[in-house]
Amino acid sequence: MSYVDDVIASVSAKNANEPEFIQAVEEVLESLRPVVEQDDRYEKAAILERMCEPERIVSFRVPWVDDEGKVQVNRGFRAQFNSAIGPYKGGIRLHPTVNQSIIKFLGFEQTFKNSLTGLPIGGGKGGSDFNPKGKSDGEIMRFCQSFMTELYRYIGGDTDCPAGDIGCGAKEIGYMFGFYKRIIGRYDNGALSGKGIPYGGSLGRTEATGHGAVYFTEKLFESLGRTIKGTTFALSGFGNVTWGVADMINKLGGKVVTVSGPDGYVYDPDGISGEKVDYLVEMRSSLRDRCEDYADKYGCEFHKGEKPWGRVKADIYMPCATQNEIALEDAERMVAEGTCRVLVEVANMPTRAEAVKCLKDAGFVIAPSKAVNAGGVAVSALEMSQNAMKLSWTEKEVDDRLKNIMYNIFNNIDAAAREYGMEGDLIAGANIAGFKKVADAMLAQGIF
């Protein structure tokens, strides 16, 4: 057995109850075969084994009192995965499906993503199985305060800087920051990012993930001899990220024809633009979690219980909702439909391993999420820099930096794939480029 096979076997055995984590590890390690086979320093220093084991992961009780006076108990997590190139950095996910496997897969992916940004940030992720849906503001605040009562021990501007993710936006970060400040008795605004603008947030952070994903796509298109202008996109989700993607596609002259929710997808062949994009924000903040509201309001087709993959004519598919939203049957439908040959992943790990294989075999260009969605965490890191320097950049200054970071990510992953003889394989390129910086830092820092 090779070094990579050995590590995959031992990680799978050790984490047998964590399917999402194993899926993420397998994908990354497969890509790294040529790198670790050419250089035995990585095996000698057990770099892969160490990268697959979080530096630490904490799990804690989060008790809070609901509006009826009943005590509720949730489970909180923070995985501090890798600090070789900077303090841990990564979002907080608040969703009923959150468990240790999800937090570990996200923290593992985050380590490579953060490395790709070129900024000094390590990898981490946190969250809770708390469901914000249907909760009052008071309940959300009490949950966030209880969550922070435990989390504060582990975070700080130079230690670990959490931010938002699914179910955790500016409102939740505000409640968490307020309570963190109260507990520690200091204004350490580098300890959380995604903050509101009046108290240290960065202009452009809300839209950074979506806008960054489209900047990346611009560069990818340039390499394929295409332009966003005149291209039709099918998106999923209707959260913060979907909104940012739709906004920038429209600005660059493309057309968005689908968005989706857990209840089904909307097909709007006239294009989701202008006030219709703003309506996505309204739908999300209503916490109703119904995409059908869009179809009711704008009188277009709604496909209950279905996903858009392979069911609509679009040039590019961009999944923006959650992990594993493209299964093998969806991929087979996409291949059979025949119009689209490009998948740009925006949500973290949206495509199942079997679906990735099916699409690759059919000649799809696949842009991996850890590269495409890195603009969110990159602007989070810019927020940390602004906080440290006690200044604020203008929207244009942030946007120029974001664009530059996303273009560089495309160029670097494209070059890494070529260097190892896998031209055009952007999944391998992202894993290799992300790996090398972290691994080389670990080699330099000794065994710990």
- Of 272 and 318, which CB lies nearer to ligand 2IT in the complex structure? 318
| Sites for ligand 2IT among residues 318-357 (CB under 6 A) | 348
| Interacting residue with ligand NDP among 31, 193, 258, 260 (CB under 6 A) | 260
267 neighbors 257 (Cβ within 8 angstroms) = yes
Q: Which stretch binds ligand 2IT (CB under 6 A): 31-39, 97-105, 169-177, 369-377?
A: 369-377
204 sits near ligand NDP (criterion: CB under 6 A): no
The binder of 118, among ligand 2IT, ligand NDP, none, by C-beta within 5 to 8 A per type, is none
Residue 414 half-sphere exposure, CB side, CA atoms within 13 Å? 16
To the nearest whole angstrom, how small is the minimum distance from the Cβ of residue 446 to ligand 2IT? 27
The yes-or-no answer on residue 135 being catalytic is no
DSSP state of 87: S
Give the residue with the Cβ less far from ligand NDP, 48 or 399: 399
Least distance to ligand 2IT from the beta carbon of 164, Å?
6
Provide the minimum distance between the beta carbon of 165 and ligand 2IT in the complex, in angstroms, as a whole number: 4
> Which lies closer to ligand 2IT via its Cβ, residue 8 or residue 106?
106
Nearest in space to 405 (alpha carbons), one of 118, 211, 123: 118
φ, ψ of residue 401 to 5 degrees: the values are: -65, -45
- The interface partner of residue 90, options being ligand NDP, ligand 2IT, none and the CB cut-off 5 to 8 Å by kind, is ligand 2IT
Distance from the Cα of residue 181 to its chain's centroid = 27
Rounded-to-integer distance, Cα 391 and Cα 397, Å: 12
> Sheet of 264-267: strands edge to edge?
301-304, 264-267, 255-261, 232-235, 316-318, 342-344, 365-367
Maximum C-alpha span of the chain = 62
Ordered DSSP codes for 386-417: HHHHT----HHHHHHHHHHHHHHHHHHHHHHH
CB of 371 to ligand 2IT, least distance (A): 11
Per CB under 6 A, 78 contacts ligand 2IT: no
* Binding of residue 172 to ligand 2IT (CB under 6 A): no
Residue nearest to ligand 2IT (CB): 91
Q: Residue 348, interface with ligand NDP (CB under 6 A)? A: yes
CB of 357 to ligand NDP, least distance (A): 21
How many of the chain's residues bind ligand NDP (CB under 6 A)?
A: 24
- Site membership for ligand NDP, residue 165 (CB under 6 A): yes
Options 104, 125, 370, 436, the catalytic residue: 125
State the DSSP H helix or E strand holding residue 16, giving kind and residue range, or none if neither.
none
- Crossing angle of helices 19-38 and 3-14, in 10° steps, is 160
Sheet containing 160-164: give its strands across.
56-65, 71-82, 122-128, 88-94, 160-164
Torsion of CA 308, 353, 122, 98, to 10 degrees: 70
Kindly give the pairing relationship between strand 264-267 and strand 255-261. Answer: antiparallel
CA distances from 440 to 4, 28, 42, 160 (A): 18, 17, 9, 21
Kindly state whether residue 239 participates in binding ligand NDP, applying the rule CB under 6 A: yes
Q: If binding is defined by CB under 6 A, does position 115 make contact with ligand 2IT? A: no
Q: How many distinct helices (H) and strands (E) make up the chain?
A: 17, 12
Residue at shortest CB range from ligand NDP? 239
CA distances from 104 to 100, 233, 399 (A): 6, 31, 30
Q: Which of 377, 382, 398, 428: binder of ligand 2IT (CB under 6 A)?
A: 377
Site mask for ligand NDP (CB under 6 A), range 60-99, x = bound: -----------------------------------x----
Which residue of 22, 28, 89, 95 would you call a contact of ligand 2IT, by CB under 6 A? 89
Q: Is 163 in the site for ligand 2IT (CB under 6 A)?
A: yes
Q: Rule CB under 6 A: which residues touch ligand NDP? A: 95, 164-167, 209, 236-237, 239-241, 260-262, 284, 289, 320-322, 325, 347-348, 373, 376
Question: Which residues of the chain form contacts with ligand 2IT (CB under 6 A)?
Answer: 89-91, 110, 113, 163, 165, 193, 348, 373, 376-377, 380
Instruction: Provide the annotated active-site residues.
Output: 125
